[in-house]
Structure 1
Amino acid sequence: MRAIKRIWNAIRNFMIIFSFIVNIILLVVLIVLGVLIFEIKSQVAQPLIGGLHSSFVGLDNATIDWTIPVRDELPISLQVPINQNTMILQPERTLNGAPLNQGETVVTLTRDVPLVLQGAFIQTGDLTLRNATVNLSLPQGTQLPVSLDMMVALNTEVPVELDVRAVIPLQETQLHDPVENLQLLFEPLTRALYNLPDGFDEVPSFVGDVVGGNGPDLMSADNEYTQNPWPGYSRTAGVGYEHFDETGPFGSFGTGIVTVGGIPVLDELIRPELYENNDTPQDRNERATQEMNSLGVEAQFFTGGLGARVSFAPAPLTQAVASQLVPADQSAATGGPESNSPSSTGNTTTAPIEDFGILPTPKNPDDE
């Protein structure tokens, strides 16, 4: 019995000493955190959480501005009808001062053309000839108005050289929804962090406002960060683009689906209009999906399934292409084929890597 009592006393003493040591450590940690709390807030929490939120804001507001070079040859094989219904006459075209009729064009003789008229009737003065034969010669360079009616076979290749500028605001695409959802995950935290005191000198007034019922709303009060979360970009986009105001049947329209957001309790503080009358973003999205289905819009056009429909199978990797992918030093070390040597099949020659001529978007001189 005494042995059990001694063991119990030893365990009790150990627990007391251990608890005392743990409490001392926790007290030291709390004191250190209390002293460094604002340093941690400004040097760790705000750069980390605010940096993530700011990056998502910048991604959502970004615009792709790129020049796409189109270099190709279009094969054309057509039977082109040429007649008075297909010819367009310029109003100013005339022949010897007389305007041409619709469907007429002017041909020029490239050599002298003899004409023989049989059975001609000629009457001049007292001379009358019947069934006469007249020999004429139209000289080279004579211009004649003619009306063509023929089919012209057109078999050729038309070279196409275009530089197509694409200006695509990401906020106007489906990428906006997932990026906005990432923003909403961090926005309540960033608002709260930037609305809290930044130093011990601000704590008394902050506590006084809270106790007096005049404390700031951490979730809705604007601050310097929320007014400008993203500072800007290292290059411009859309400078000199002249088609922003053009409208047309671009094939995209709103669905009524809203981003789900982050933590519901915090999200309701940021977007209270979505939670009115016990509503939720999920409920709104279910109704919007039903509305799209009733309009006959397939789900793949607004749920992200379109990528599986238009996916392209990669081209097979041939020996010629594979040899181009091997770095020069590695190819020499392994005895691989060079760019101008025959491949292992002995039937093909590896062509040098093609320069596709992709042009960067012109920079604005003001950015330099």
Structure 2
Amino acid sequence: MTQEQNPRPAKRYARLAPLYKALIWTSFLINTVLIVVVAVLGWTLYTARNQILDLTGTTRAFAGTNIAELQDVVAKLQGSTIKYTVQLRGARLPIELEVPVQQETNVVLREPVPLSVPAAILFPGGGGNLNANVNLELPAGLQLPIRLDFLLPLKQSIPVDLDVPVNIPLRETELGPQFQRLGAVVERLVAPAEPLLTRPDEVPDSSTPLLAPSATAAPLIIEPLPTAGPAQPAP
């Protein structure tokens, strides 16, 4: 008894055109390169995360420090005062005014002063009266009380040689409103970024040097490198 074996049909594969093969290999290579690049980039970011965090913190602290100093400068400008001493040397100050003089004083006669005044002499008992002139002479050295009441005009220039202190608050000058506007503009710019800033405990002052030069610093000594000797021949 024989068994008939049915032959299996042979598998046939479609043959791809060379262009399609090139496209497939190109796509495979591109995907491989992209996967490698993404993996390297991800690993780099993962290993550099501490540096990125430090850089972010440093940036926030840098911005917060400078903004705090800017706000402090604006506040001090609003409350500052101009203090100066004006020196007047060799100048002349013109004066033109009337000075009221009201004073009681005594004057002394330097020489005799003759007086001739009319006088009415009445005789008692209805004897009538007599109109006559009385001649008197005030002796020299006599003190007479008088009252002065007049306006003394002054019109001249006087020499001036003095130091005049000047103390002017800026808020009372024309710069006061401008400093207030500057402060308001700074506050409007800082308010949105306030949660992201790191404020310093103490407001810095850029007018003072951060590092003072040390008078006892050791001098820098540069020594020459040792030079190699001539090469010895091998035995």
Counterpart AA for 2:103: E
Residue 179 (1) aligns with residue 180 (2):
no
Counterpart AA for 2:71: V
Residue 58 (1) aligns with residue 56 (2):
no
Distance 2:167 2:97 in 1: 34
SS at match of 1:155: strand
Matches of residues 73-84 of structure 1 in structure 2 within 5 Å? 73=91, 75-80=93-98, 82=99
Distance 2:23 2:158 in 1: 99
Higher strand share: 2
Sequence identity (%): 9
The corresponding residue for 2:196 is 192
Residue 104 (1) aligns with residue 76 (2):
no
The corresponding residue for 1:147 is 148
Any idea what the Cα deviations from partners look like across 1:12-43, whole Å, max 9, x if unmatched?
Answer: 4563354235313431342144223432233x
Shift of the 135–122 alpha-carbon distance from structure 1 to 2, 3 Å rule, reads farther
The corresponding residue for 2:87 is 71
TM-score, normalised on structure 1?
A: 0.38
The gaps in structure 1 that reach 5 residues or longer are 88-102, 195-224, 236-368
Residue 231 (1) aligns with residue 203 (2):
yes
Distance 1:25 1:138 in 2: 124
Shift of the 166–151 alpha-carbon distance from structure 1 to 2, 3 Å rule, reads closer
Higher helix share: 1
Counterpart AA for 1:67: K
SS at match of 2:139: strand
Shift of the 59–150 alpha-carbon distance from structure 1 to 2, 3 Å rule, reads closer
User: Would the aligned equivalents of 1:46 and 1:190 in 2 still touch at CA under 8 Å?
Assistant: no
User: Would the aligned equivalents of 1:112 and 1:139 in 2 still touch at CA under 8 Å?
Assistant: yes
User: Would the aligned equivalents of 1:71 and 1:162 in 2 still touch at CA under 8 Å?
Assistant: yes
Distance 1:113 1:3 in 2: 148
The corresponding residue for 1:34 is 49
1:230 deviates by 5.2
Any idea what the Cα deviations from partners look like across 1:262-320, whole Å, max 9, x if unmatched?
Answer: xxxxxxxxxxxxxxxxxxxxxxxxxxxxxxxxxxxxxxxxxxxxxxxxxxxxxxxxxxx
1:54 deviates by 0.7
Matches of residues 222-261 of structure 1 in structure 2 within 5 Å? 225=199, 231=203
Counterpart AA for 1:154: K
Distance 2:83 2:186 in 1: 30
Shift of the 24–183 alpha-carbon distance from structure 1 to 2, 3 Å rule, reads farther
Corresponding pairs, count = 177
Distance 1:12 1:20 in 2: 12
Residue 156 (1) aligns with residue 154 (2):
no
User: Would the aligned equivalents of 2:93 and 2:159 in 1 still touch at CA under 8 Å?
Assistant: yes
User: Would the aligned equivalents of 1:112 and 1:138 in 2 still touch at CA under 8 Å?
Assistant: yes
User: Would the aligned equivalents of 1:54 and 1:230 in 2 still touch at CA under 8 Å?
Assistant: no
Residue 48 (1) aligns with residue 62 (2):
yes
Shift of the 234–7 alpha-carbon distance from structure 1 to 2, 3 Å rule, reads closer
Counterpart AA for 2:85: P
User: Would the aligned equivalents of 2:107 and 2:146 in 1 still touch at CA under 8 Å?
Assistant: no
TM-score, normalised on structure 2?
A: 0.54
1:120 deviates by 5.5
The corresponding residue for 2:167 is 165
The corresponding residue for 1:95 is none
